[in-house]
Amino acid sequence: MEIDEDISSIESIGVEDAECSFGDISRISGDNSIQSQNNSNQTSISTSADEITFDPTAFIEISDILGLVGKNWMIFRVSPLWNLKFDKNYLASLSKHFTLSIKKNIATNIKSQKHDSNLQISGTLEVKEAYQECIALKIQVINTENDTLMYDGVLLKTPDYTTKKDKSNLLDMPVLLVQGSKPILTAVHNWLAESFDCVVRPYEFASYEFLWLIAISMGDAGQSYNETVLYHYLYNYEFSKCHTDIKFCIESEFLRSTLTKLSINRSNTEATSFHYSDLIKVQSEIEDHFKLSSGINASKLRLKAFEAPKVATINVSGKILIRSSTLMDLILKYLMELEHRK
């Protein structure tokens, strides 16, 4: 089943600077362990190397994670939902109400041939309670005439989700992954807001979040260091009332030499901390390389998107395309840890 509309277009959205540390990103140097350090000046996400290992075969049975791989997703933030129950009979009844609401919205607000007001559609809300999976609730709108997905949404749960669910009528599922056309997306999100007194808004990556996502993605591509991997950086250049995009490419061999020169590429698993200050150094070296090779000062531009071919594409405006179940799991855990600490 394919989604009704491609949402892979890139948009430029400004973000504010912030600093954070996401423990260890030692996978950049080919190390598959995770270790973190707490710092009084930086926020660290603590993870013991004994608790988590990165075995790609361990994710094969996680069908829901695999279902997210290889697709374009828009990311949204969601405030706690009021009085949503995970009872199957309740959700079945709610799905009927959801379907009627979307049909009514289409009939009154969507005036186009592509989204005819007489469309035969079905809306469903399905609970996901699999052990240790981050997916909590799936939301779909399907055109039953041709079995086409018009909207596909996945609400993710925080690490302490079970505890919060047992103690309050507020369900904290702060991250929503979405595929779908803008009119249907707006209709679904308006229904969520009206039904559960929540706020749904686009997830714009702060600069520190974006650099961490790049680092995690390069770590996954690091398995191909024996071959040349080209990383793509897309910058936005604004002048007067116009703007243009500038794309740079960099080889993995240069990145590896940069990590070695900055003493970041550590082979000792007992000393593999990697903090935001290290990311700044790496990014500075990369932008200096762009300046020498092209004559363009990339540090004066706005970093807009990053691509590790055949691995990941990440946009600062909250769009992702991940082609590895292991990497998808890592990125989702990172996003949920960020929400958990707020």
Rounded Cα gap, residues 215 and 222, in angstroms: 10
59 within some domain: yes
9 within some domain: no
Cβ atoms of residues 24 and 272 within 8 Å: yes
* pTM for the structure as a whole: 0.76
pLDDT in tens, 127-145: 876 555 678 899 999 999 8
Same domain, 272 and 303: yes
18 within some domain: no
Mean pLDDT of all residues in 262-279? 63
Same domain, 136 and 233: no
Structural domain ending residue among the three candidates 139, 168, 198: 198
Q: Which residue has the higher pLDDT, 162 or 286?
A: 286
What residues form DSSP beta bridges with 307?
Answer: 232, 313
Same domain, 102 and 191: yes
Same domain, 255 and 157: no
146 within some domain: yes
pLDDT in tens, 8-18: 333 333 333 33
CA-wise closest residue to 260 among 246, 281, 287: 281
CA-wise closest residue to 182 among 204, 150, 154: 150
Please give the pLDDT value at position 81.
Answer: 92
pLDDT in tens, 28-54: 333 333 333 333 333 333 333 333 343
CA-wise closest residue to 22 among 324, 287, 278, 329: 278
Same domain, 194 and 215: no
Same domain, 55 and 99: no
CA-wise closest residue to 98 among 116, 121, 81, 114: 121
Confidence category of residue 118, pLDDT binned at 50, 70, 90: low
pLDDT in tens, 208-249: 999 999 988 876 555 544 567 789 999 998 877 778 899 999
12 within some domain: no
What residues form DSSP beta bridges with 156?
Answer: 135, 175
What residue numbers bound the domain in which 173 lies? 80-198
Same domain, 237 and 278: yes
Same domain, 190 and 208: no
Same domain, 139 and 227: no
Structural domain ending residue among the three candidates 198, 215, 230: 198
Please give the pLDDT value at position 342.
Answer: 67
- Domain count for the chain: 2
64 within some domain: yes
Same domain, 117 and 32: no
Mean pLDDT of all residues in 90-111? 87
Same domain, 105 and 190: yes
Confidence category of residue 207, pLDDT binned at 50, 70, 90: very high
Mean pLDDT, the chain, as a whole number?
A: 76
Q: What is the dihedral of CA 207, 210, 215, 219, to 10 degrees?
A: 180
Same domain, 157 and 256: no
Cβ atoms of residues 141 and 122 within 8 Å: yes
Structural domain ending residue among the three candidates 198, 221, 242: 198
Cβ within 8 Å of residue 28, ≥6 positions away? 215, 218, 219, 222, 259, 264, 265, 274
Rounded Cα gap, residues 90 and 70, in angstroms: 32
